[in-house]
Amino acid sequence: MFLDAIPGTGGIITAIAKRVGCSWHTADKYIKRYPRVQQAYRDECERVLDMAETKVIELISEGDPQMLRYYLSTKGKHRGYTERQEITGAGGEPIVFQVVYPKGTDGDNR
C-alpha cells in the first residue's frame, strides 16, 4: 500500500498519507519503520532533487544571473565563489577583543 503511494508525491508525507488514507504521523512512522518503504521514500526525494538540479542547469544554460550566482556560491566554493568573508587579525592570527566597562561598574551586567 505505502510502496504504491509514494511515487509521484515528491516525498511529501502529507501527500503519501492522503493516498493511503492515514494521518501524517502514521505515514511518517511507517516510512521510518520499514526499510523497503524508507528506500522508496528516499528514491522519490532523490528523484525530485534530480528534477530540481536539472532545472538549475537549464536556467544556467539560459544565462539566468540569479541562478548563476546561486550555483557558484554553493557549488563553486572550492574555487573561491562565496559571499562569506573571513576576517582575521594581523598575519592570520585571531582577532582579540578587549571589553571596556564604564567606570563605576564591576563589569557584571547580568
> What are the tens digits of pLDDT across the range 2-55?
999 999 999 999 999 999 999 999 999 999 999 999 999 999 999 999 999 999
Rounded Cα–Cα distance for residues 61 and 94 (Å):
42
13 lies in some domain: yes
Mean pLDDT over each residue of the chain, to the nearest integer:
91
Domain total for the chain?
A: 1
100 lies in some domain: no
pTM to 2 decimal places: 0.67
Cβ–Cβ < 8 Å for 68, 57: no
86 lies in some domain: no
Q: Which of 36, 45, 34 is nearest to 9 (CA)?
A: 45
